[in-house]
């Protein structure tokens, strides 16, 4: 599977990554090689096989919905690069008209 530069840029954008032109070409080559490798799976007859999402399939793990203490505000905000003591501070998400 040979990826194009456009596909690499599109995937990077979906993943919120910025790549230099040099990186685009490097990843294009490397990811194409990895995709070629994983396409070995197409040798297998997989129609009708049930997919496995977890090693030890546990289902519907439930607990009582009881209120429990959670982290205090100070602990939650401690690692934030910017905060107001009450909330995380980020740039405006909605632009002014």
Partner 1 sequence: MNVTELTLTELRRRLRQGSVTSVAATEAVLQRIIDLDNDLRAYLTVSDALALEMARDADERRALGEDGPLLGVPIAVKDIICTQGVETTAGSRILEGFIPPYDATVVARLRAAGAVIVGKTNTDEFAMGSSTENSGYVTTRNPWDHEHVPGGSSGGSAAAVAAGLAFGALGTDTGGSVRQPASFCGVVGMRPTYGRVSRWGVIAYASSLDQVGPFGRTVADCAAILQVIAGHDALDSTSIDAPVPDYEAALTGDISGLRIGVPQEYFAEGLDPQVDAAVGRAIEQLEAMGAQTVVISLPHTRYALPAYYLIAPAEASANLARYDGVRYGPRCEGSNVVDTVKQTRALFGAETKRRIMLGTYALSAGYYEAYYGQALKARTLIQNDFLQAFESVDVIAAPTCPTTAFRIGERTADPLSMYLADVLTVPVNLSAGCGLSLPCGFDDAGLPIGMQLIGNTLQEATVLNVAYAYERATGWNRKRPVETR
CA distance 75 to 61: 29
Does 56 interact with partner 1 (rule: CB under 8 A)? yes
Whole-Å CA distances, 65 to 62, 68, 72, 97 = 9, 9, 20, 44
Within residues 3-42, the interface with partner 1 by CB under 8 A covers 7-8, 11-12, 14-19, 23, 27, 30-31, 33-35, 37-42
Among 21, 67, 86, 91, binds partner 1 (CB under 8 A): 91
- Answer whether 82's CB lies under 8 Å from 89's CB: yes
Q: How far is the CB of 7 from partner 1 (least distance, A)?
A: 8
Among 22, 51, 66, 97, binds partner 1 (CB under 8 A): 51
Sole residue written with tokens 């519907």:
60
């Amino acid at each position: 599977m040979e990826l194009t530069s456009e596909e690499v840029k599109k995937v990077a954008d979906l993943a919120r990554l910025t790549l230099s032109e040099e990186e685009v070409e490097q990843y294009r080559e490397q990811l194409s090689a990895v995709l070629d490798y994983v396409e070995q799976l197409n040798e297998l007859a997989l129609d009708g096989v049930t997919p496995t999402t977890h090693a030890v399939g546990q289902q519907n793990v439930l607990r009582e919905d009881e209120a429990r203490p959670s982290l205090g505000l100070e602990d939650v905000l401690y690692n934030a690069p910017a905060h107001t003591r009450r909330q995380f501070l980020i740039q405006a998400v909605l632009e002014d008209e």
